[in-house]
Chains A and B, each alone.
Chain A
Amino acid sequence: EDQVTQSPEALRLQEGESSSLNCSYTVSGLRGLFWYRQDPGKGPEFLFTLYSAGEEKEKERLKATLTKKESFLHITAPKPEDSATYLCAVQLTSGTYKYIFGTGTRLKVLA
């Protein structure tokens, strides 16, 4: 069965304290892995797409990496405005372009 798991479920960081969020997946065939940020009461905001193992993408304080089994979202020197829920989703090679979402990581960055 195709599955996506995110850890930790929740994370509290001090401002400037770097950390990583994990997205592990077990799927029949990976077309792509996607990272989103979601603020309370809003729709997810697209961050990154990763297609193959070894690929990396960066945007400001965020860096996403991909291996054959998992993806990491590294947050360097976070600021309070980085507080949000971070979601990863996988898209399979078979069938439609639908996503399988992970459960998300709720990040709180304290000033």
Chain B
Amino acid sequence: GAVVSQHPSRVICKSGTSVKIECRSLDFQATTMFWYRQFPKQSLMLMATSNEGSKATYEQGVEKDKFLINHASLTLSTLTVTSAHPEDSSFYICSARVEGGPINEQFFGPGTRLTVL
């Protein structure tokens, strides 16, 4: 149980284009999902908290107009990197929190490797 998927696993795009990454909780509902980015040999940096049916909460320094988050259902959140540039190249990982009960763990997706040329 508690499986999170991401699609695509890897994407290469040209500078200036937009890229959408999907995060799905496969066997549970998730009112709250989280989006992280990770640079090589570094830890995970939280970008935003995605809330089903409401606006995402962005961490300080993260441009909300550049990283658009939509959480339209209890099993799907999307991250769109708009007008991507080479500096946006990174490993993007989502996680989901199991709703209800005492469990507070986040379960992570396999990640999406974004390369912007």
Contact = CB atoms under 8 A, between A and B. Distances in A.
A87 interface: yes
B43 interface: yes
Contacts, number: 57
Interface stretch (A55-63, A72-80, A93-101): A93-101
Given A41-B113, A87-B43, A87-B44, A98 B108 contact: no
Most chain-A CB neighbours within 10 Å: which of B42, B43, B97, B111?
A: B43
Tell me the dominant secondary structure on chain A's binding face.
strand
A32 B104 contact: yes
B111 A43 contact: yes
Interface residues of B, number: 27
Contacts of A106: 41
Interface of B: 2, 4, 6, 32, 34, 41-46, 49, 57, 91, 93, 95, 97, 103-111, 113
